[in-house]
A and B are shown apart, each in its own frame.
Chain A
Amino acid sequence: MSIEDLYSEIVLEHYKEPHNVGEIQSPEIFAKGFNESCGDDIKIFARVKDNKIEDIKFLGKGCAISQSSASMMTDLLKGKSINEVKEFIKAFNKKITGEENFPEDSDEWFELSALKGVIKFPIRVKCASLAWHTLAQGIRDYENKLIRRNNEQL
């Protein structure tokens, strides 16, 4: 395990030119995340239509790991249903903490597995998960809001 495995080409590519950076006006899903230990922050915006993530963007300052993770995450989750996204977040968390292996020959996981190096740097797991935890929080808030709205209508 060398430092180049942590900072693989894919990670550095995404860090250099992150995808899906920006804001979405009046998004259905919005959450702010903060990594206390390094001072990094992230904002995630998502447009939901027919229970699907129609668009997703992020804004934030952070290290190569957190930025590339957010960039890849937003690429991957666009078009998925809320339930699929929730499952994906769970699966990612298990893989990034080393509880499960990254799948070897899955197109979907190919880019993300560039983050594999993080497992050997426990302090950096937080960086890789920041965007994912933040989105999970945003989804929880979104679903709670839906439940409240339904209750009010009853």
Chain B
Amino acid sequence: MLDVKKIKEDFLIFQRKIKGNNLIYLDSAATTQKPIQVIEAISNYYRNNNANVHRGAYTLSEESTMMYENARQSAAKFINAKSSESIVFTRNATEGINLVANAWGLEYFKADDEILLTQMEHHSNLIPWQLVAKKTGAKLKFIYLDRNGELDLSNLENLINEKTKFVSLVHISNSLGTINPVRDIIKHAHNYNIPVMIDATQSVPHTFVDVQELDCDFLVFSGHKMLGPTGIGVLYGKEELLDKMPPFMGGGEMINEVHLDWADYRSIPWKFEAGTPNIAGAIGLSAAIEYINSIGKENIEQHGKRLTQFAIEELEKIDGIEIYGPKFNRGPLVAFNIKNIHPHDVSTILDEYGVAVRAGHHCTQPVMQWLNVPATVRASFYVYNSFEDVEVLIKGLKKTKEVFAGVY
């Protein structure tokens, strides 16, 4: 059991009142709040160590470089990567996906090659591939959803074939909560030597993700969804694959020798980090990792499961509610709608109780089309949420129904 009360004290934002109420933050799948430890790590860096990395031979630059590279090591350890050279710092998961789609895709895809995605991808794992497909003539294929909101793998034998050149899919869906059997899919794709990228944005914050055990070729996540600051993310890639990719962006930091008409690039991972990186962001991410480790991934996962289970049980008691996604074995979030009440109206009324939930399409419009709804309400949980938070949510939903009582 997590000591939520104690954890909440580390998050100063919970001292705030929203319309006179305590803040009940149920939108961690969009971005998490930040503990004081992360905020102080960033602020201490700017106060004491700030200098550009990999440049000067003076004390501050050395310190700054070391802190940045240590952060890389802690990110590597966090997902059990073999080496820190396989960790590329990006702005966020989206940038990591774009990097691979462009650097790998433009280099290796030809007309009529197939890229396999799923129907439940976040737009950030769909649009980059649409763009690359347009440029290369490659085709997008999809693993579709079954009735429960899980991947229908019955057709996988056909979907993965000689034409398939890349597979990219989400580990835990941010709109349905589905946990995908990524390990099986990776295994299957590897039978054909097809590289697989995992969008682990919603899984890395909550469960232990081991890139060696998964044997994925690429994996991305965002720091801001795991207590870290915005503007820092991670792309993991197997070293031999990163080596085979040309740079995505050019500029300073990513080069060795530069002439007017040619240049020699640095080795990985720096080859992919053009320009001054988000040094403070990486240091903040490292502090977030430390914080998560101090609580323990297993505890976090258990806590998320319990809260989600409790929320689903309580939601089911409300008349006219529809809950989306698999019933069991799901990530720490629940999406739903109340009959005849638009999610936007639900969210506005919940805000009166200090409850922050997301109402919208969650950057997964194809999933909304599949559900045949314009949008859903989504409550998502993290370490600072308690069972009482869920109770306030339920109370707010009952009030919402009262406000709309005349509509039935």
Contacts and interface: CB of A to CB of B under 8 A. Distances in A.
Contact of B344 (A2, A9, A16, A127): A127
A15 B399 CA distance: 18
Task: Give the interface SS of chain B, mostly helix, strand, loop or mixed.
Answer: helix
Contacts of B365: 39
Interface string A56-97: 000001111100000000000000000000000000000000
B345 A12 contact: no
Given A4-B403, A7-B404, A9-B406, A39 B360 contact: yes
B342 interface: yes
Contact of B375 (A3, A9, A13, A39): A39
Interface string B318-350: 000000000000000000000001111100110
A6 interface: yes
B156 to A, nearest CB: 30
B275 interface: no
A55 interface: no
Nearest to A61: B374
Contacts of A6: 348
Given A37-B360, A40-B374, A40-B375, A12 B407 contact: yes
A125 B319 CA distance: 30
Contacts of B343: 38, 63
A3 B401 CA distance: 12
Contacts of A37: 360
Contacts of A4: 403
Contacts of A39: 360-361, 365, 368, 374-375
A7 B374 contact: no
A64 B346 CA distance: 10
A111 interface: no
Contacts of A141: none
A121 interface: yes
**Range of interface residues on chain B?**
20 to 34
Contacts of B399: 3
Task: Give the interface SS of chain A, mostly helix, strand, loop or mixed.
Answer: helix
A3 B405 CA distance: 14
Nearest to A16: B407
A41 interface: yes
B374 A41 contact: yes
Contact of A3 (B360, B368, B403): B403
Given A63-B342, A121-B348, A38 B407 contact: no
B112 interface: no
Nearest to B375: A39
Given A39-B365, A39-B368, A64 B374 contact: no
16 contacts: A3-B348, A3-B352, A7-B345, A7-B349, A12-B407, A38-B342, A38-B343, A39-B360, A39-B361, A39-B375, A40-B375, A41-B374, A63-B344, A64-B342, A64-B407, A121-B348
Given A38-B361, A65-B345, 10 more contacts: A3-B349, A16-B407, A61-B374, A62-B344, A63-B342, A63-B345, A64-B407, A65-B344, A121-B348, A124-B348
The 5 closest A-B pairs by CB, nearest first: A63-B342, A39-B361, A63-B344, A39-B375, A39-B374
Interface of B: 341-345, 348-349, 352, 359-361, 365, 368, 374-375, 399, 403-404, 406-407
Interface of A: 2-4, 6-7, 9, 12-13, 15-16, 37-41, 61-65, 121, 123-124, 127
